[in-house]
A and B are shown apart, each in its own frame.
With several copies, the nearest count.
Chain A
Amino acid sequence: MAVLLDENARVIVQGITGREGSFHTKLMLEYGTKIVAGVTPGKGGQTVHGVPVYDTMEEAVKEHPEANTSIIFVPARFAPDAVYEAVDAGMKLVVVITEHIPVHETLKFVNYAKQKGTVIIGPNCPGIISPGKAKVGIMPGATFKPGPVGIISRSGTLTYEIGYALSKEGIGQSTVIGIGGDPIIGLSFTEAMEYFEKDPETKALVLVGEIGGDMEERAAKMIEEGKFTKPVVAFIAGRTAPPGKRMGHAGAIIMMGTGTYKGKVEALEKAGVKVAKTPFEIPELIKEVI
């Protein structure tokens, strides 16, 4: 088993004919992901790496009714529309890679998807991988190996770093989710944790947080309240970042005195979580708990 994504995923790539869409379609196919269709308005009838392209999700789903997952590489101005199209076409999981989407647009489509029962990962995220089963994202597949550890991460590149460090030590992963760095995102730490809690294959969890926001504190609270019962190891990026400065597009920023490194680490440690000082300590800490 795995969470949200396994070998039964049948994937549509929205924005498949673009540079990134096409490149990552190839990598996902090579990884073994079952991509059944692509969608780009006006490009219907083409194929990309052997995948048939349609003008609309409606047509794609009509020809490939088994499709249940989509990944979006559409530029920011058109990405919200692509999300609505995916949700309305009945996708159960939609991964939004696109960055720079206006935050009020994200606010709306995230609430819309929730009403319709679709899980959104992202936007501005690397996606999701269940090693050995399927990859719906842009992470380097070879970095991850099948195994018992779940990873939920606010940071893209750092996820690869940590997955790589674990894999090198022979510790594989059940599912790895990069939830995205924007202020408003579809799937939060705690929501993702609910899935991992129910997954018998996952024996431990790595949380990769960042300064800013209060998702790490909420995760700590969930653990403290006994709603997440598996061992957790965490890493928080931005220990040495100065307050009030925005670090990158992602919006890792400490505002109004909340979201500090110290506050997050204290909350997590109080909940019994071991917090690594560098990403490279994580394999050792994981070995201690499983």
Chain B
Amino acid sequence: MKLFEYEAKHILSQKGVKIPRSVLIAPGDDPLAKMEEAGLKPPVVVKAQVLVAGRGKAGGIKMAKTEEDVKNIVNELFNKPIKGIVPKLLLIEEAIPHETELYAAIVLDRSERKPVILASKYGGMDIEEISREKPESIVRQHVDPFIGLKGYQARLIGKKIGLSGKALASFAKFLTALYEAFTEYDAELAESNPLALVGDEVIPLDARMIVDDNSLYRHPEIAKERLEESGEYTEWEIKARKMGLGFVELDGEIGIIGNGAGLTMTTMDLVYEFGGKPANFLDIGGGASAELVKKAVSFLIEYPKAKKIFINIFGGITRGDEVAKGIVKALEELGDVSKPIVIRLAGTKAEEGKKILEEAGIAAFTDPIEAVKKVIEM
């Protein structure tokens, strides 16, 4: 789950990082009064707290030079969707004059199975741009997860991106705090970009963190889904997530249910291959119960983009009989369903499943190619 900028900065601040002085504004707040309470005066930066990528380029970050500016910008940002998302909070921060913008991030290196620090002296652009334009500027340092980031490693990274003296010490301290935040919050990503160099001190002008979804139970203080605010999900995706379904909206007309991400993606690929277009990705995962299958089928029946439904199940930990029971129940409960449904069932308890479907008058295929051809021609 992505954290908001103000949350990530708050975490860093608790780890001893100096962050810009700031105040959080909700709709209806008097921004100037709030600023005065926080000891803030223009020039300030007003930043929409949304989780969409490219927030700055989409107009979500504005400089306000006067109090008049502040009022206008706050009013504008609360009423302007950023990539479709209207912010619920704005962060007003002191403007910090600086010349140098650095980049620092920690991610998980899947091959090395270790956290890796990425840093560059060319901050401000995103890491893809840096990789393209200044690939040699990116410094990489793996971290032993049992030892943590050693002080000497943090200094070495700082040195390699061209820092020295007190600026180097400040950067090393920042990296240490960023690493602590990364591990303490079970992060998949912790990033500051730009990380401003102000005199001898580094100050994060932006901060991003993504917390591992599987670890959210350990972080009750942040563990509320912010699906609506995130801008990552469409209306139907949000609905599905709230129901506990792994659903991704696509642009075609064939609704797809599969078990396992690999098979479900392959089912999409197959539909394309034979001339159809998937309306979605819906993975019921491993070992789905009849109840979950029922939910998934009912969901796709309601989902308007799906004109027909293709269910492709190869049972392992998922049992064909459970799947069949779920489908039958969904159709029973919804009564008159006009969408055509094609089912392919193989693997564990597939025969039992087919029997259940047959008894309910539903035909099922064993061969997926036959099944996909069928659903496309329907």
Contact = CB atoms under 8 A, between A and B. Distances in A.
Contacts of B164: 42
Interface stretch (A2-10, A135-143, A193-201): A135-143
Nearest to A114: B113
A49 interface: no
Interface string A18-50: 001000100000000000000001100000000
Interface in B113-152: 113-115, 127-128, 131, 144-147, 150-152
Nearest to A241: B265
Interface in B166-214: 168-169, 183, 186, 188, 212, 214
Given A103-B212, A248-B261, A256 B128 contact: yes
A240 B268 contact: yes
21 contacts: A78-B151, A81-B152, A102-B215, A104-B183, A108-B146, A154-B262, A155-B260, A155-B261, A160-B316, A160-B347, A181-B261, A210-B262, A211-B265, A218-B111, A238-B268, A240-B272, A248-B246, A248-B265, A256-B127, A257-B131, A280-B369
Nearest to B217: A77
Given A56-B152, A157-B314, A210 B272 contact: no
B212 A104 contact: yes
B165 interface: yes
B155 A210 contact: no
Query: What are the 7 closest A-B residue pairs judged by CB atoms, nearest first?
Result: A155-B262, A248-B261, A157-B260, A157-B263, A158-B262, A102-B215, A250-B261
A270 to B, nearest CB: 19
Interface string A154-174: 111111110010000000000
A205 B272 CA distance: 27
B165 A42 contact: yes
A244 B250 CA distance: 13
Interface in B255-280: 258-266, 268-270, 272-273, 278
A56 B316 CA distance: 28
Interface of A: 20, 24, 41-42, 55-58, 76-78, 81-82, 84-85, 88, 97, 99-104, 107-108, 110-112, 114, 126, 138-140, 143, 153-161, 164, 181, 183-184, 188, 208, 210-211, 213-215, 218, 235, 237-242, 244-250, 252, 256-257, 277-280
B262 A157 contact: yes
Given A78-B151, A256-B127, A238 B248 contact: no
